[in-house]
Amino acid sequence: MTHDMNSLLNTESFQALAQERLSKMAFDYYRSGAWGEWTLQANIDAWEKIRLLPRALVDVSTRDMRGQLLGMNLSFPMLIAPTAMQCMADPQGEVATARAAAKAGVPMVLSSLSTRSVEDVVTASSADVVMQIYISSDRGFTKALAQRAQAAGCKALMITVDTPVWGVRERDIHNGFRVPDGMSIVNLQRHGQPTGHSGSGIGDALGWTIDASLTWKDLDVIRQAVQIPIMVKGILRADDAGRAFDHGAAAVVVSNHGGRQLDGAAPTAEALPAIVRAVSDRGPIIVDGGIRRGVDIVRALALGANAVQVGRPILWGLAAGGETGVARVLQILFQEFDLAMALAGCADLSAVTADLICPRP
């Protein structure tokens, strides 16, 4: 049965419909956090604790929510976060997401664990595509993948640094998660080997795709292999944010991987302020984790972020209605953000300043 996407009013309704449409194995894979899922929930709760002090009697009759990030144009300050294996949600997978991103005017970050090739995704639409990279134990392969992404037309790379080892998602173990037949992690095929995926989400076949011995100097290898800018994703500490810029990052992404890595890691809304204080003069700061309403984007900007990323709500849109579903989720987030800005007395992004936040007693 087709469902009118316009009848869904918020991202939570999309999650409910996605749960109906997806197999339990796929839904749990997308929804899960690590261990007790404390950080997963804390990400959401932490945004709710940021209370706003809206400005009265400001002319907000014309509003401009557009921004720029590393040469990319954003119709509002969000990117689609990299999330793995989107063909489980829709047959077109990452291609459908890219087409919806193009229509909404937001960049899409493509997971290196995607089920459509980077070339297919870049050529599918006019969206700006950023390639997410895990630095693997096969450095030559990772360097080649970075160069392949650049050649395909990706606007930047986003190197994820919070995965020396994979976090444990207990739901995936219970479900015996594996990549469904007919799907594969296409960008990571090497020497003709198929890439499977099992156990805690990621199994033996993908063991080589990350490397527990990685250090900051490994970032230099990838940065030197390409000309496009590099963002570093998975930063929770001010000193690490500084190190990322020292090693040539053009931007940092404050993230705990949506609560899928270290359960017990701080929610990103709580980690963000110290990072803003330390490095806001060095480059853009993006934050993700638990952004579910447009007003959360206002909260993130007021804390000093330049943009946010949204992960699971996009997957819910894709599962609920393919490209149309993602387009509707992006429309909801834009409309909520635009309205929250107007209600807060902000006609453009420069009006969002720290004094919009109510000091805690």
Provide the strand spans (E) within 268-351. 285-288, 307-310
Our finding on whether 223 is near ligand FMN (CB under 6 A) is no
Which residue, 60 or 271, is less far from ligand FMN as judged by CB?
271
Distance (Å, whole) CA 275 – CA 270 = 10
Find the binder of ligand FMN among 15, 125, 132, 209 (CB under 6 A): 132
**Which one of the spans 171-179, 239-247, 309-317, 339-347 is the region binding ligand FMN (CB under 6 A)?**
309-317
Tokens read off for 268: 């990103």
Angle between helices 294-302 and 38-48 (to 10 degrees): 80
Q: Judge whether 257 counts as a catalytic residue.
A: yes
Tokens read off for 30: 């997308």
Which residue, 95 or 113, is less far from ligand FMN as judged by CB?
113
Our finding on whether 84 is near ligand FMN (CB under 6 A) is yes
Find the binder of ligand FMN among 223, 243, 257, 328 (CB under 6 A): 257
Distance (Å, whole) CA 31 – CA 171 = 9
Using DSSP's 3-state secondary structure scheme, residue 326 falls into: helix
Footprint of ligand FMN on 36-65 (CB under 6 A): 43
Least distance between ligand FMN and beta carbon 281 (Å):
25
Least distance between ligand FMN and beta carbon 32 (Å):
7
Structural contact between residues 286 and 309, judged by C-beta atoms closer than 8 angstroms = yes
In total, the chain counts a number of residues equal to 361
- Cα angle 7, 10, 15 (rounded to 5 degrees) comes to 95
Among candidates 122, 157, 128, 164, which has minimal Cα distance to 143? 157
Which residue, 143 or 233, is less far from ligand FMN as judged by CB?
233
Which residue, 14 or 60, is less far from ligand FMN as judged by CB?
14
Helix (H) or strand (E) holding 69: strand 67-69
Find the binder of ligand FMN among 67, 93, 311, 325 (CB under 6 A): 311
Tokens read off for 156: 């930047």
Which residue, 60 or 160, is less far from ligand FMN as judged by CB?
160
Residues binding ligand FMN (CB under 6 A):
29-30, 43, 81-84, 111, 113, 132, 160, 233, 255, 257-258, 260, 288-291, 310-312
Catalytic residue numbers, as ranges: 257
